[in-house]
Homo-oligomer: A and B are copies of this chain.
């Protein structure tokens, strides 16, 4: 009887996961193949499925089942942990009413549509009203969820359980102080050039090369696929159907190469979850920060490293001899690691990237506590980019319209990008200890041991440990951004020869 009810729980979790995965497919299709006139009914369909999965989950019977299972002494540790985490999710989900969920889903679909149009027209004004609706609903969401400190805490916790605005204030202030000085220092040394990255790179050849990089990473194309979308993303409908998207710019080789590796890193995490945990917390990623640690580790620690390109650069040269034939490996390696303040977050280097995140973090906090309104976004954006990166923002397309996150209603999400970068260094340092010949293996194109190490230490564990527990278990200490700063100085002192 008690055993049977854990099966009831699993069955319910499967049903809810099925609806959520169908919803994810509606989203994938919307951003890849949906014809434009399909948008209005698609918004409604997504809202309906959101409402249905919400209703299924918050039904009083769910709470009764979860509470009853916690009394069941026959559950093992993992079963109990699944139920406990689901109960936490349940209590949070019960903060929302169906009407709110459907209104937010609808607002988000509309905002996505408005954002695409506003980008095409390079006019924030066309996005403003739809974004105001999203921000209003997100403020309402923080209130529904409840918080003790800053209203932004309620949202942060959706993406990074346990994170607080106060802690992030301290972390970002510390990193900012160190990074500002270091980036200035690099600016005074001999500069490196990456002009070769902006030669002509034909689309089809880029695409094929990207697929090769994904295969080399051990991304399983029998359990996934890559398509084109305006903004690259990873999505999954099960552990056995994990899809990535990319974009190809014929005048800029960056976006395809590191887009593929970055999304590939996310995808390996999802493919590394265990199918028997489908629908359960054990079958979900730990946090967005940990998720991002996987994409950043592959993108930066592997994909912007010398051993990786010792192997792959000759292959890249062979694909694009007319553009890279005379560029040496040393020039290439230094060029792809150029540190240079720029306007677009997704094109930023490993260091100045975090200034982009800090700006968004500050704007989001202010939007949530009401000290900033949507209409003032372009102006504050300009001010902050001047102050943090020393750059003039000339238009909305290269400014406040660049990211898709706010139209998705994902306020509180951006900080996880920096957290992920910091976790990535800490995990990779540990991998270097655990796999002594790791860099040699990378140089040989054998990325399987790293993928297996990540799978064993992180992927297969799902959400059963918190980010803090996981990090401590793997590296012996919780997140410590000093690792990131040390890694940065080592790497970039070598690239920008210290005088």
Is A220 an interface residue when CB atoms closer than 8 A count as contact? yes
Would B241 and A49 count as touching, CB distance under 8 A?
Answer: no
* Inter-chain pairs besides A18-B44, A22-B22, A35-B243, 8 sampled, C-beta below 8 Å: A22-B23, A22-B45, A33-B33, A35-B223, A35-B224, A35-B225, A35-B240, A40-B238
Interface positions of A from 177 to 227, Cβ below 8 Å from B: 220-225, 227
Kindly supply a per-residue 1/0 record for chain A positions 47-83, scoring 1 wherever the CB is within 8 Å of any chain B CB and 0 otherwise: 0110010000000000000000000000000000000
Determine how many copies of this chain the complex contains: 2
Whole-angstrom distance between the Cβ of A47 and the nearest chain B Cβ: 8
Contacts of A22 in B (CB 8 A): 22-23, 25-26, 45, 49
Smallest Cβ distance from A498 to chain B, in angstroms?
A: 48
Report whether B237 and A19 are in contact in the complex, using a CB–CB cutoff of 8 Å: no
When each residue 35-48 of chain A gets 1 if its CB lies under 8 Å from chain B and 0 otherwise, what string results? 11110111011001
Do B238 and A48 touch (CB < 8 A)? no
- Answer whether A221 and B35 are a contact pair too, CB < 8 Å, given A22-B45, A41-B241, A45-B22: yes
Task: State in angstroms the CA–CA spacing of A19 and B21 once bound together.
Answer: 13
**A345 sits at the interface (CB 8 A):** no
| Contact flag A241-B48 (CB < 8 Å), given A29-B25, A35-B223, A35-B225 | no
Q: Judging by beta carbons under 8 Å apart, are A237 and B38 in contact?
A: yes
5 A-B pairs in the complex with CB atoms less than 8 angstroms apart: A15-B48, A18-B45, A18-B49, A19-B52, A42-B237
The DSSP consensus for interface residues of chain A is: helix
A474: B residues at CB distance < 8 A: none
Chain B residues whose C-beta falls within 8 Å of the C-beta of A48 in the assembled complex: 14-15, 18-19
| Beta-carbon nearest neighbor of A227 in chain B | B33
Determine whether A327 belongs to the interface, using a CB cutoff of 8 Å to chain B. Answer: no
A34 at the B interface (CB under 8 A): yes
Q: How far is the CA of A29 from the CA of B227 in the complex (A)?
A: 13
> Within the assembled complex, what's the spacing in Å between the Cα atoms of A222 and B240?
32
From A56, which residue of chain B is reached at the shortest CB distance? Answer: B52
Residue numbers in B under 8 Å from A397 (CB-CB): none
Task: Tell whether A381 is near chain B: CB-to-CB under 8 Å.
Answer: no
Min C-beta distance of A327 to chain B, whole Å: 33
Interface pair A19/B241, CB less than 8 Å apart: no
A226-243 residues at the B interface, CB under 8 angstroms: 227, 237-238, 240-241, 243
In the complex, residue of chain B having the shortest beta-carbon distance to the beta carbon of A34: B241
A9 to chain B: closest CB distance in Å?
16
Select which of B15, B21, B41, B222 is within 8 A of A35 by beta carbon. B222
Partner of A49, one of B19, B37, B222: B19
Scoring A221, A238, A275 by chain B CB atoms within 10 A of each residue's CB, the highest score goes to A238
Q: For the complex, is A278 an interface residue (Cβ under 8 Å from B)?
A: yes
Contacts A15-B48, A29-B29, A48-B15 given: A21-B41 contact, CB under 8 Å? yes
Alpha-carbon separation in the docked complex, A18 to B34 (Å): 16
Pairwise interchain contact A37-B223, C-beta atoms closer than 8 A: yes
In the assembly, what is the distance between CA of A225 and CA of B23, in Å?
Answer: 21
CB-nearest residue of chain B relative to A28? B29
Contacts of A42 in B (CB 8 A): 237-238, 241
B237 touches A37 (CB 8 A): no
Which 6 interchain pairs have the tightest Cβ spacing? A38-B241, A41-B238, A18-B48, A37-B223, A37-B240, A18-B45
Q: Roughly how many angstroms separate A23 CA and B49 CA in the complex, as a whole number?
A: 11
| Option from B26, B45, B220, B240 in Cβ contact (under 8 Å) with A41 | B240
A323 to B164, CA, bound (A): 70
Residues in B with CB closer than 8 Å to A237 are 38, 41-42, 45
> Which residues of A248-297 have CB atoms within 8 Å of chain B's CB atoms?
275, 278
A19–B49 alpha-carbon span in the complex (Å):
7
Tell me whether A40 and B240 are in contact in the complex, defined as CB-CB below 8 angstroms, given that A22-B22, A26-B22, A45-B22 are known contacts. Answer: yes
Q: Are A37 and B278 in contact (CB under 8 A)?
A: no
